[in-house]
Structure 1
Amino acid sequence: MSGEYGGPLAAKWVARKQVSHDELLAADGALWWLQSDPDLGGIRRLMSTRPGAPARARTPPGVSVGGRLHAYGGGSFAVAADTQWVVAEDSKVYRIRSGNEPEPAVAVADGYRYGELHHAANVLLAVRGTDEGDQIVEITPDGDVRVLVSSTGFLAAPQLHDGALAYLEWAADRMPWDSTRLMLTAWPDRTSPGRLLAGSDREAVVQPLWGPDGQLYFMSDRTGWWNLYRWTGGTIEPVAPMDADCAPAPWEGGYRSYAFTDSGPIVLTVHDGIGTELVSVDRGGLLIRHATDLTSIKPYVAALGDDVFLIGSTPASRPSVRMIDLGLPGERPALPIGPGISGIPGPQVLPPTIRTVRSGELSIRFLLHQPDGGLPAPLIVRVHPGPTDDVPLRLDWAVQFFVSCGFAVAEVAYRGSTGQGRVFRQSLHGHWGEYDVEDCATVARHLLETGQAQRDAVFIAGASAGGYTALQAACRQGPFTAATATSAIIDPARWEKVVPRFQRPHAAILSGPAGAVRAEAVRIPVLLIHGTADEIAAVDDTRRLVKDLATLGRPHRALLLEGVGHYLSAPTALEHALLAELDFYDSLMRREP
């Protein structure tokens, strides 16, 4: 760190800088997205802007946008000329007319969770679900609900065009990144059966969109890579074949990793598990790279005319809404679209380096962040959540908090991570708590053996599924001095029974011989951080583990955050977690040998 921010960053400052931008959408001649507000406890507000105008919030401070359909929500708003619909934290749909206060869009209260909103041809569609199954519904202006499609499995991504309704479906015992089906049915005819267009037990189809040419586009991993295809009405043809993933695993609804411009080219993302690029492809299949200054792009790409918008970032700038003009020649940087939307001022940071090690028969890549004091340094091996997730090459102030305190941080794209094809993504199946631990330990040993990590100060930290990995590492003989687990999964078998329906197959598919984390197996000090209102990984298992560790006299600390959910999204919760983790490591490094 350098400049006026010299020295360690303040946890309070870092917690307030973790502003998120999500669900970018072009509609009604404007750009719309969700943005968290640290001044309001981290709630997410619907924002919009038109060309040349400043961005403004379209939802009041008392409404946080984003429901819990399929546990993680998504597709949280839809837009018409004078009306917006949003899914609030209670997973209900609200309508906002001409700046008035939100009002319920569904006349009769029900027990469903809503999401995946889609507005087309003056029709508002949504997906709603319970533990018994999902439905695609039409919500009328009067608040009535008409069921269009029902399934005992899962439904997603309804897309309406010219009397045809396309949607995704997958079985109750599958995850949408393993096996989905792209279906087509007539609308408003609610009696016709759905027609299978693509997808199988060995193919995951994601992100269907009707193009301006009337053809249905979608991403499929039928070749082992998520690439863009189109259905012409009779055949399916590839649009831009490549050995790279152009979409992420669909943890949330509403992802759009490609967009259509007025002049013809389609813009899409290309991901390698760490970095993301933006390219355009014309009818002849020619690929052109754009915005080469960006290293990470969220799965939301939108277009107004030939202006392309995305949520992009670099190793020195946080994710923000940016614009690319495809009509301008040459390589041009992506520009922030307006004041207050670009990166957040802060200290200069040293970009991480991308490293590779061999683990088993595979090459494992990781990002290495170095402190100002250089190497060797105390090391934190950071395990991403998911585990079906990636390691984005972007500025993360939570990582920089520890870097500013003198730690090196290694972020590992371990087996099971996304962006490296279907085979790598599924390589953790049946081996959760084994291969992920082995890959993280291999990175730590490599940095120790090459003199880049300080001995007796090698820590592992992870959240959610990454917390399970960290705790399993604490149960093995290995290079780690201590482990931090935030919002951790403790017992996959029990978690499978209590987790929201969407993720139950995930636990079954991943689980292997490692099993539950048992207090008697823990070999090193552990810090457990958990919110008491966590709906993804219940706090009871963490409480039980803390009690067992205390009974056995094993060194541990615990921080239970009252009323906090899975993500520690409120700035105060993140601040307390950062300080607790830092103090945990400092106390271990200060002790006598």
Structure 2
Amino acid sequence: MDEIVAVSPAGDARVLVRSNGFLACPRLTGDELAYVEWDRDRMPWDGSQLLVADVRSGAAASQKVVAGGAEESVVQPSWGPDRLLYFVSDRSGWWNLHRLRDGVVEAVAPIEADCAPAPWEGGYQSYGFGGDGTVVLTVSDGFTTELLAVDGEGGRRRLGANLTSVKPYVAVDGDVLTVIGSTPSSPPALWSIDLGAKPGSPAFPVGGPLAEAPLPWTPALPSVEVAAVGERSVRFLLYRPHGGARPVPLLVRAHPGPTDDVPLRLDWTTQFFVSHGFAVAEVLYRGSTGRGRSFRQALHGHWGDYDVEDCAVVADHLRASGVAMPGAVFISGASAGGYTALQAACHPGPFSGATATSAIIDPARWEVSVPTFQRPHAAVLRGPAGAVEPSRVRCPVLVIHGSADTITSAPEAVQFARELAALDSGHASLLLEGGDHYLSAPAHREQALRAELAFYRDVMNRSSS
């Protein structure tokens, strides 16, 4: 049972809304409470509804659904300065900004792009309001997240064009917009933008130019590439090492989604491998966000199949085009991406080795161990690929796991690694004592990266001997 409660200055609490489903994003103006609700057998990005209730009497009365449903996702409601209710809905097939005016839902800025991410965390705010009524919102294509300003007449202009990635925490104070943004050559930082500046004006790091400290080395910059197979195409970011176009070892990275994207920003893991002579491809596989509802749901019932296919298509494309060195094509992933990497290792194909970090190994077992909120996600994704069995693995695998991981099972990973090692000496494993699911400690991250690099080098040495 979920509840929305009001707490008085004296600490007294009273229940405003009670639900057998999940509740989120309570937004109060006067006596009107807006909030999001969804059933316990689904995720909010698959189906949710926006309700408005009169809380004048203390508890919610005359609750009314104003948007959403089983086939529509509504996220991030907010009351605007014009006292209208704004929210992001994918009723058009894309997460776009809408508002409720006189009981009618209208699109604020229709666009074939997602203007919000999947709501894995509370507190996301992907849009804001300027002092003159301008609406500022994020716009993502799966790689780049831009800032768009929409005036009262519907006119649009891009803000902070020097930023390529913006987190969903938009803050506006009068005419000053502040975001957490980044570029392919700078890590996430606070940036500010003058909403009154000329179109095309850049964002500035908070604290002035000196706040943007130069890197001691030149990072590799990516290109957005497309690999085609039949009528289907797979988009990915490609990073290549400096100094020549000869074939090099290739690392294909499956992001830890599936409902994630491939942000165009400085990524230390990618730069680490590029600095050691690898090309790195980051794949926007089916199931990712930024490409609309149908693309986001394409992986439902096909986890371990379609994501693997997309990563393999990219690897084959780069091998055929002369980017990748034969016998040195690897795949890596963490969490759900670790499951993708392990399933890729079970198929004949382009991969010479795979690294699975904090990986899901058996989706059915994981489904009953994750928090209640996440179980519908595991259920809807799970398909015929099933659990990864050591006997099915066809290439060397490195298993990396933290002993204190509370999201995926460390004992399961240790047992899986032992069974692999009993079958072939080419497999390897690393258990990081005290490591969490995200390998948050710098020492753990360094150990994992060095182990992964050594593993790939060992595989290449074995294949050349």
The normalised TM-score by structure 1 is: 0.76
Name the counterpart of 1:159.
Answer: 27
**Alpha-carbon spacing, 1:566–1:341, altered in 2? closer, same or farther (3 Å):** farther
* Amino acid in structure 2 at the alignment position of 1:157: C
CA distance in 2 between partners of 1:408 and 1:576 (Å): 21
Instruction: Indicate which of 270, 273, 279 corresponds to 2:148.
Output: 279
* Larger RCO: 1 or 2 (CA < 8 Å, sep 6+): 1
Paired residues of 2:183 and 2:266 also in contact (CA < 8 A): yes
Shift of 1:565: 1.5
Deviation per CA, 1:361-403: give whole Å up to 9, x if none: 4221000000013331100000001111100111111210111
- Counterpart contact for 2:182–2:189, Cα < 8 Å: yes
Q: Percent identity?
A: 59
The farther-off stretch of 358-367 and 219-228 is 358-367
One-letter identity of the residue aligned with 1:368: L
Q: What is the aligned partner in structure 2 of residue 136 from structure 1?
A: 4
**Is the 1:320–1:343 contact (alpha carbons within 8 Å) kept by the matching residues of 2?**
no
The answer for the alignment partner of 2:411 in structure 1 is 540
Determine the C-alpha separation between the residues in 1 that align with 2:129 and 2:213: 26
Q: For residues 343 and 175 of structure 1, do their structure 2 counterparts lie closer, same or farther at Cα, with a shift above 3 Å needed?
A: farther
**3-state SS of the aligned residue for 1:137?**
strand
Measure, in 2, the Cα distance between the counterparts of 1:342 and 1:176.
Answer: 37
Tell me, yes or no, if structure 1 residue 310 matches structure 2 residue 179: yes
- Any conservation in 1 of the 2:222–2:238 contact (CA below 8 Å)? yes
- What secondary structure, in the 3-state scheme, does the structure 2 residue paired with 1:300 have? coil
Task: Give the Cα–Cα distance (whole angstroms) in 1 for the partners of residues 59 and 389 of structure 2.
Answer: 51
Q: What is the SS of the residue equivalent to 1:228?
A: strand
Give the 3-state SS of the residue equivalent to 1:178 in structure 2.
coil
Q: Distance in 2 between matches of 1:139 and 1:539?
A: 40
| Counterpart residue type for residue 178 of structure 2 | F
Structure-1 residue corresponding to 2:455? 584
- Aligned partner of 1:217 in structure 2 is 86
Q: 1:403 to 1:377 in 2, by over 3 A?
A: same
SS of the equivalent of 2:302 reads: coil
Letter in 1 for 2:45: W
Question: C-alpha separation between the residues in 2 aligned to 1:589 and 1:449?
Answer: 19
After superposing the two structures, state which structure 1 stretch, 485-494 or 552-561, moved more.
552-561
The 5 A counterparts of 1:429-440 are 429-440=300-311
Name the amino acid aligned to 1:181: Q
- Deviations 1:333-373, CA, capped at 9 Å, x for gaps: 11011168646633122311110012464221000000013
1:492 corresponding residue in structure 2: 363
After superposition, give the CA deviation of every residue in 1:436-490 in whole Å (9 maximum; x if it has no partner).
0011001001111111101111100000100000000000001001000111000
Q: Distance in 1 between matches of 2:2 and 2:230?
A: 41
Amino acid at match of 1:346: P
Q: Is the 8 A contact 2:116 2:139 kept in 1?
A: yes
Q: Tell me, in whole angstroms, the C-alpha distance in 1 between the residues paired with 2:27 and 2:358.
A: 35
2:135 is aligned, of 260, 266, 273, to 266
Of 368, 381, 390, the match for 2:238: 368
Give the counterpart letter for 2:331 in structure 1.
Answer: I
Structure 2: give runs of 5+ residues left out of the alignment.
none
Q: Secondary structure at the match of 1:558?
A: strand
Aligned to 1:205: 74
Range 566-575 or range 489-498, more displaced: 566-575
Query: Which one-letter code corresponds to 2:17 in the other structure?
Result: V
Cα separation, partners in 2 of 1:139 and 1:586, compared to 1, 3 Å: farther
Q: Offset at 1:509?
A: 0.5
CA distance in 1, matches of 2:91, 2:321: 40
Deviations, residues 186-215 of structure 1 (Å, cap 9, x unaligned): 225215253111001110001101101111
- Tell me how far 1:152 sits from its aligned partner: 2.3
SS at match of 2:273: helix
Q: Secondary structure at the match of 2:61?
A: coil
- Which residue is 1:349 aligned to? 219
Q: Quick check: 1:247 aligned with 2:116?
A: yes
In the TM superposition, what is the alpha-carbon distance from 1:168 to its structure 2 partner?
0.6
Aligned residue for 1:502, secondary structure, equals helix
Contact 2:50 2:74 (C-alpha < 8 Å) held by counterparts: yes
Q: 1:393 to 1:426 in 2, by over 3 A?
A: same
Establish whether residue 561 from structure 1 lines up as the match of residue 432 from structure 2. Answer: yes
- Amino acid across the alignment from 2:122: G
**Contact kept in structure 2, 1:231 and 1:237, CA below 8 Å:** yes
Give the equivalent residue in structure 1 for 2:202. 333
Contact 2:220/2:271, CA 8 A, preserved across alignment: no
Question: Which runs of structure 2 are paired with 1:188-199 in the superposition (5 Å)?
Answer: 188=56, 189-199=58-68
The answer for the alignment partner of 1:479 in structure 2 is 350
**Matched pairs, number:** 461
Q: Compared with structure 1, are the counterparts of its residues 343 and 241 closer, same or farther at alpha carbon in structure 2 (3 Å cutoff)? A: farther
The 2-side partners of 1:361 and 1:176 are apart by 31
Query: 1:483 touches 1:524 (CA, 8 Å); kept in 2?
Result: yes
Q: Indicate the larger mover: 403-412 or 139-148.
A: 139-148
Give the alignment partner of residue 37 of structure 2, picking from 151, 165, 169. Answer: 169
> Partners of 1:155 and 1:356 in 2: how far apart?
39
| Deviation of 1:148 (Å) | 2.1
Displacement after TM superposition at 1:147 (Å) = 2.5
In structure 2, what is the equivalent of residue 449 of structure 1? 320
Letter matched to residue 371 of structure 1:
P
**Residue type of the alignment partner of 2:54:** A
Residues in 2 aligned to 1:455 and 1:248: alpha-carbon distance in whole angstroms: 37
RMSD value over aligned CA atoms? 1.5
Shift of 1:586: 1.5
The match for 2:443 is 572
Amino acid at match of 1:479: P
Q: Quick one: structure 1 residues 349 and 135, their matched pair in 2 at CA, closer, same or farther if it must change by over 3 Å?
A: same
Return the letter of the residue paired with 2:74.
Answer: V
Asked if structure 1 preserves the Cα contact closer than 8 Å seen for 2:129 and 2:135, the reply is yes
Contact 2:234/2:313 (8 A) holds in 1: no
1:363-402 alignment, distance < 5 Å: 363-375=233-245, 376-402=247-273
Stretch of structure 1 that moved more, 556-565 or 176-185: 556-565
Give the AA of the match of 2:35: Y
Aligned-pair CA distance for 1:536: 1.6
- 2:95 maps to which of 226, 234, 237: 226
Letter in 1 for 2:276: C
Tell me if 1:424 matches 2:295: yes
Please tell me the residue identity of whatever aligns with 1:260. F
Segments of 5+ residues of structure 1 without an aligned counterpart are: 1-132
Distance across 2 between alignment mates of 1:346 and 1:181? 49
> For 2:54, which of 186, 199, 214 is the aligned residue?
186
Q: What TM-score do you get using the length of structure 2 for normalisation? A: 0.96
Asked whether the equivalents of residues 273 and 391 of structure 1 are also in contact (C-alpha less than 8 Å), the reply is yes
CA distance in 2, matches of 1:148, 1:497: 31
Distance 1:362 1:283 in 2: 39
Alignment check: 8 A CA contact 2:157 2:199 kept: no
Whole-Å separation in 1 of the counterparts to 2:241 and 2:319: 16
CA 1:191–1:162 in 2, change beyond 3 Å: closer, same or farther? closer
**In structure 2, how many angstroms separate the alpha carbons of the residues matched to 1:311 and 1:465?**
26
Q: Equivalents in 2 of 1:233, 1:540: separation in Å?
A: 56
Which residue of the partner structure matches residue 236 of structure 1? 105
Aligned residue type for 1:213:
D
